[in-house]
Structure 1
Amino acid sequence: MNFKHVVKRFVGLISIMSVALLFAGCSKSAAHKVTHITYWHVNAQTLGGASVDKLVKKFNDTHKTIKVTAKYNPNMYQGLMQNLQSAQASGKVPDIVQIGWAFTNYFSDNFKYMTPTDAAQKFDKNKDTITKNFSNQALSFAKNAKGKLVGLPYSLSTPILYTNDSMLAKYGIKKSDLSTWEGVSKAAKTIKQKSGKYGVYIQEPADTWAQQAMMLSNGAQIKDASGKAAFASSQGEQAYQLYQDMVVKDKTAIHTPWNQGMDDFVNGKVAMAFTTVAQASHIKQSVSFKASAQTAPTFKAHKLTVPVGGSMLSITAQKTDQQKAAWTFEKFMYQNDSLLTWDKGTGYLPPTKTALDSSQFKTYLAANPMIKPAVDELPNAVPWTSFPKNGLQAEQDMIDARDKILSGSSVSSTLKSTQEKINDQQ
């Protein structure tokens, strides 16, 4: 064999080995291909942020081909929607997002998303995945004005009244007197007169959920059957007038941002706090006094009606690989043990029938009585009012109206002008 032939065979062998190595490399790469997705949420550390981190870590540890990166969005659901607006404009949207109920219609009218129904049919080949796990009531919270399921219910909450029982007992206030807003107002006056401290704090985040609950429990509507804003009724005005009187005239209720208001409650500077059940874990871990909770007050002669709080998870991924990964992550988040981790870290109620009826949740409920009033309120929960195309602005208009009223502006004229402004935008 001459030298030239040896060289030719050697080069050929090297070429074959190179091709083999190339395909081996491709095969290994394909086997370990990791799909990266981003999850946008609104959970600060006092409102479930640690639980988000725990769940994402567990998912990433058990799903080697998907990596989830969680991103916290400040300023609650309004802040997330504003950030999502910017992300869509830049073409760099997250893959799965936590959407507050107040923005269901706004989200579905203005953003590209994959419905959970389509995800279940495409990736599970199963139309029953959703209806088997969620009640009709829970699913109704996540439907837009056209009856289309926009996401899957994730966080369920109702507003409840937390009380500093040590302070109430000291000043002779019975908890049974707090079943009405009139009773809360009277008790707040007693607290102020006898201690100089504030009687009540009604939550003021970047939404008007608690204020809507007050109006609904005075027989008011937030939106009528035609979809128009309708809160500037006599019932709506009466609810806001009592609220304004406590803040401005009697100075028995505190007007301050949500974090500060909750700090004041857990530090014993205010006797009662009307806020979400999702604050239950934070309150339990933070107070040095005896605290408890009861169902939301109503106005005299009116039945309890509360807007459901919380959020849904919606898929905003645009590529199939990311959509499939987002759906896999979403299903993990709805497993019973995942939901219990979430509920324990927040106080939120589980959205699925299986988790709500599970022995684990019932055991947790028995050990955490502050959660029970919210469970009792669920049958009285209605969808949180959601305005369509200009929903982001409508929510801001209602926040601005709240802040004007609590600063002393006329309740009647402020509500009427805000209602007109919202309806002109729709």
Structure 2
Amino acid sequence: MKLFLRLFSVFTLVFVLAACGNADKSSSSDSGSKDGKKTVIEYWHVNAETQGGQTVNELVDAFNAQSKTTKVVAKFNPDMYKGLMQNLQAEAAAGKAPAVVQVGWAFKDYFSNNFSYTSPQEVIDQNFPEDKTFLKDYFNKNVMDLAVNSDGKQVGIPYSLSSPVLYINRDILRKAGLNENGPKTWEEVKEFSKIIKEKTGKNGFYLQEPADNWATQALLESNGAQMITDNKATFASNEGIKAYQLWADMILKDKSAVHLSWDQGVQSFIDGNVAMAYTTIAQRSNIQNNAKFDVAAIKSPAWEGKEVKLPAGGAMLAITAKDQDQQKAAWEFMKYLYSVESMAKWTEGTGYVPPRKDVAEAENGLKKYLEENEMMQAAIEQMDGIVPWTSFPGDAGLQAEQLLLDARDQILGGSVSVEEGLKSTEKAINEILK
């Protein structure tokens, strides 16, 4: 137990040193409105029903039940963090804004360059003198620095930390005559996938495909590629092309892997139609609760002879409320989310590792949960491989992400070669970055 907790505690330190569906409850902005004596605020998040959406609802409902001053309305944004940024653009153009938003690590600079926000400490200093040292007391400085932008400003507070893991269906692996503990390298993933298809008829592999390139970055950079170097896109290197080619060959040549949306891919794994799924540890709860087979989560595969490099997943919470009442309500809600009990509930409901430093060992936190839950260990044990999630500089974030997504669909759809797709996309992104 002591070793396990020590590994869990080391997670955050190493993570930083390496630095790095919930249905809508409201379709319109309630910012600035009142519900009796309560200030009504919106909380924008990206947690679908299968990835923390239920826990968001539970936390919001519990907060609303105990707060005498604030009512929170949760709003789910599809297409993950990119979709939230796009929706926030539309809201800002209309002169509106939610009070609290989740901002993915890849959009930290884009968000701070394009939207109005207030540092949480500033809101605390102006309105909550009793909480003056809250952030200093409960968060390591290195963890807080994750939410500092390239200009050195504290944009928000880290909320979700994750890394990609490989979920495996041990029943299918055994049926195919393979090691039930799964592959250790990407080369073995390809071989396992091909054998599974040949011997069982099941699809062997799925790599998550949401509206971002998080998992793709892990695949490429673990092979020695760099998504960006000195503010210039450099992913179309020989190493990047080779890594992408393995993925494309599994889908187009071997026909042992599937090219599906994120929800479809994860569901196919849960339904037993895909033997291995490479996706975030934040899917742990969904997979663990719904899979009807011998399921396990193992560490991210490495490339033969190379070190694993895994982009930090998750998000920070930022205050976008403009008037003082909204800002005060935003901090009251955020303080609730960052309590030991709420952080523990968030981890149990998702798989995200909490950024608050005292949650793992607290009796009212995760102590018992970690003793009983083995599927978290893969994410904890591989944190020495964490690197920052690529954030393209300036205002290019959304455009660069979309160009990479377009290239992904073209390559995996077979309309362009890996080399052509990556090189043309790299060139297009660098034109934007000039």
- Whether TM-score is above 0.5 comes out as yes
Q: 1:132 aligns with which of 130, 134, 137?
A: 137
Give the deviation of 1:244 after TM superposition.
0.8
Q: 1:414 aligns with which of 416, 421, 433?
A: 421
1: CA distance between counterparts of 2:182 and 2:224? Answer: 21
Question: Once the two structures are aligned, what percentage of the paired residues are identical?
Answer: 49
Give the deviation of 1:366 after TM superposition.
2.6
Give the deviation of 1:177 after TM superposition.
5.5
Give the deviation of 1:50 after TM superposition.
1.0
TM-score, normalised relative to structure 2 = 0.88
Do the aligned residues in 2 keep the contact of 1:141 with 1:384 (CA within 8 Å)?
no
Task: Report 1:132-171 matches (<5 A).
Answer: 132-171=137-176
Q: 1:90 aligns with which of 86, 90, 94?
A: 94
Give the deviation of 1:199 after TM superposition.
0.7
Aligned residues: 395
Q: Does 1:393 align with 2:418?
A: no
Do the aligned residues in 2 keep the contact of 1:282 with 1:346 (CA within 8 Å)?
yes
1: CA distance between counterparts of 2:137 and 2:40? Answer: 29
Distance 1:423 1:121, change over 3 A: farther
Residue segments in structure 1 that go unaligned for 5+ positions in a row: 1-29
Give the deviation of 1:117 after TM superposition.
3.1
1: CA distance between counterparts of 2:226 and 2:155? Answer: 24
Distance 1:422 1:45, change over 3 A: same
Q: Does 1:374 align with 2:382?
A: no
Question: Match of 1:61, SS?
Answer: helix
Question: Match of 1:369, SS?
Answer: coil
1: CA distance between counterparts of 2:168 and 2:398? Answer: 33
Distance 1:54 1:406, change over 3 A: same
Give the deviation of 1:380 after TM superposition.
2.3
Other-structure match for 2:355: 351
Question: Match of 2:325, SS?
Answer: helix
Task: Report 1:107-126 matches (<5 A).
Answer: 107-125=111-129
Other-structure match for 2:84: 80
2: CA distance between counterparts of 1:187 and 1:136? Answer: 42
Do the aligned residues in 1 keep the contact of 2:172 with 2:200 (CA within 8 Å)?
no
One-letter amino acid matched to 1:413: E
Distance 1:307 1:63, change over 3 A: same
Q: 1:278 aligns with which of 276, 282, 288?
A: 282
Q: 1:337 aligns with which of 341, 347, 355?
A: 341
Other-structure match for 2:56: 52
Give the deviation of 1:231 after TM superposition.
1.1
TM-score, normalised relative to structure 1 = 0.89
Distance 1:356 1:234, change over 3 A: farther
Question: Which region of structure 1 is more displaced relative to structure 2, 373-382 or 127-136?
Answer: 127-136
Q: Does 1:189 align with 2:194?
A: yes
Do the aligned residues in 2 keep the contact of 1:141 with 1:383 (CA within 8 Å)?
no
One-letter amino acid matched to 2:429: I
| Cα deviation 1:290-347 (Å, max 9, x = unaligned) | 1001110111111121011111111000101111110111111011100111111111
Question: Which region of structure 1 is more displaced relative to structure 2, 382-391 or 178-187?
Answer: 382-391
Q: 1:251 aligns with which of 255, 263, 268?
A: 255
Give the deviation of 1:175 after TM superposition.
4.8
Other-structure match for 1:404: 410
2: CA distance between counterparts of 1:310 and 1:397? Answer: 22
Q: Does 1:423 align with 2:430?
A: yes
Residue segments in structure 2 that go unaligned for 5+ positions in a row: 1-33
Give the deviation of 1:362 after TM superposition.
3.3
Other-structure match for 1:289: 293
Give the deviation of 1:137 after TM superposition.
4.1
Give the deviation of 1:154 after TM superposition.
0.7
| Cα deviation 1:39-87 (Å, max 9, x = unaligned) | 1111111111111111111111111111111111112111111110000
One-letter amino acid matched to 1:168: L
Give the deviation of 1:354 after TM superposition.
1.1
Question: Which region of structure 1 is more displaced relative to structure 2, 346-355 or 152-161?
Answer: 346-355
2: CA distance between counterparts of 1:139 and 1:356? Answer: 18
Q: 1:220 aligns with which of 219, 225, 234?
A: 225
Give the deviation of 1:143 after TM superposition.
2.3
Do the aligned residues in 1 keep the contact of 2:162 with 2:312 (CA within 8 Å)?
yes
Other-structure match for 1:39: 43
Distance 1:243 1:323, change over 3 A: same
Q: Which has the larger radius of gyration?
A: 1
Q: Does 1:384 align with 2:385?
A: no
Other-structure match for 1:23: none
Other-structure match for 1:307: 311
One-letter amino acid matched to 2:136: T
